[in-house]
A = this chain, B = another copy of it.
């Protein structure tokens, strides 16, 4: 098997929209994704999946029901399964997501933000 390294910045140059995660790696049933965010997402939760947000660029405001946490480049947050959250990007944010392959971006909600099938780049 031939394996290759992945360069995050290079992958991000292929992302030209917001709130549309692309898969850039897979291991142990989990997926590594990159996405760009801008604006306010929808309140949602994932009933069976913990979700990790690792910030590459910009500042992400993660709204939780009991407050909010600002996450900067070089920082990550893990949202445990069942916890309602709402990502807000006042300015453009680039990030890595780490979560099970089964994770739907809008969790228990389906709306215009929902991406049923993610592209691999």
Q: Name A's B-contacting residues (CB within 8 A).
A: 1-9, 25-28, 30, 32, 49-52, 64, 66, 69, 71, 74-80, 83, 98-100
Contact of A1 among B26, B69, B83, B98 (CB under 8 A): B83
- What is the CB-to-nearest-CB distance from A93 to chain B, in angstroms, rounded to a whole number? 14
Q: Could you tell me the dominant secondary structure of chain A's interface residues?
A: strand
Q: In chain B, what residue has the closest Cβ to A52?
A: B27
* Most chain B Cβ neighbours within 10 Å, of A9, A27, A51, A98: A27
Q: In chain B, what residue has the closest Cβ to A8?
A: B74
How many angstroms between the C-alpha atoms of A100 and B77 in the bound complex? 18
Cross-chain contact B74 with A7 (CB below 8 angstroms): yes
